[in-house]
Amino acid sequence: MAARSKAAPATASANPHRGEHQLSLGGRSYLLRPTFSAQVAIEEKTGQSLIHLIRAGNAGGMPLNVAGTIAAELIRAGAEPGDTITQNVSADRIAEMIFEEGQPVAVAKLTLCMVDMATGGRKASGEAKAVAPKTTDETTAA
């Protein structure tokens, strides 16, 4: 009997309508999902506001351990139901993988995902809110 592969389960493709992004680390592509719970966890664990973290990412001043924490929370939020391996990723291990892959690309992806979190237009789960159709007054005023 052949040994079972211990490869990580396949990750779903990012849905731009949810503000999702993909982050490749250690030969695997992780789904980053901006959710309310991810934002709360990121702010609690880093002790910094989302806007401060976005500024640090844009300025190239995000510490590696902070990038690992942000990535881990966004990865956990993007985990498929029942994927306990992804739901329990280690922020320290994710930081190590970011170091191995190179910080600039990873931090840029994390920053883009945080910008999507900060700009609103989403439900707490990350789903895009429905856009109300324009009324006649709005269309004629333009």
pLDDT in tens, 100-118: 999 999 999 999 999 988 8
The reported pLDDT for the residue numbered 5 is: 34
Per-residue pLDDT of the chain (142 residues; tens, 9 = 90+): 443 333 344 457 877 767 788 999 999 999 999 999 999 999 999 999 999 999 999 999 999 999 999 999 999 999 888 999 989 999 999 999 999 999 999 999 999 999 988 887 677 777 766 655 666 655 555 5
**Calpha distance 41→134 (Å, rounded):** 36
In a domain, 2, yes or no: no
Distance CA 59, CA 66 (A): 14
Q: What is the pLDDT of residue 22?
A: 93
- Structurally, the chain folds into a number of domains equal to 1
Is residue 81 a part of any domain in this protein?
Answer: yes
- Domain of residue 102 covers 29-120
Model pTM score: 0.79
Check if the beta carbon of residue 34 is closer than 8 Å to that of residue 42. no
| Residue 98 belongs to a domain | yes
Answer whether residue 19 is part of any domain: no
